[in-house]
Structure 1
Amino acid sequence: MQVRVLAAIIRKEEDIYVAECPEVGTVSQGYTIEEALENLKEATELYLEEFPIPDVPHPLLTTFEVAINV
């Protein structure tokens, strides 16, 4: 068994947290951050059983500013 570290993006939507893995495209949710992340892990492991991904580097995550007229 190989262990791979993947990225997770978590955002709050109303009363749930939505977690997404950008490298694979899997998405899941939960009522807590921990639950959303655990559900994402399970969904990603199931997905990778059918669709293995090649060994590629992590995506670059950064931030940027935009001007908004308020």
Structure 2
Amino acid sequence: MKYTVILHRTEEGISVSVPGLPGCWSEGDTDAEAIENIQDAIQEYLAAVKEMSRGQEVREVDIAA
């Protein structure tokens, strides 16, 4: 899966957000570290969503690009 991420550069480092996953943020001192950290954050976010939707009626839909 691919997700669009936005890098926010400050004097303290780089924070990264995922517009498609509200509240999914991470950070790092370098681009590489920030990207690696957001990959972990995305996996944790998706695991939490899966857990919260357990027992619910869930469906997947295809969206044309």
TM over 0.5: yes
* 2:15 is the counterpart of 1:18: yes
The alpha-carbon deviation at position 15 of structure 1 amounts to 2.7
CA distance in 2, matches of 1:47, 1:5: 14
Judged with a 3 Å threshold, the aligned counterparts in structure 2 of structure 1 residues 5 and 31 are, in CA distance, closer, same or farther, namely same
- Greater fraction of residues in helix: 2
Q: Could you tell me which residue of structure 2 aligns to residue 30 of structure 1?
A: 28
- Of all paired residues, the percent bearing the same amino acid is 25
Q: TM-score, normalised by structure 1?
A: 0.66
Q: After TM superposition, which residue ranges in structure 1, 4 or more long, deviate above 4 angstroms?
A: 54-57
Root-mean-square deviation (CA, aligned residues, Å) is 1.8
CA distance in 2, matches of 1:21, 1:56: 20
Unmatched 5+ stretches in structure 2: 51-59
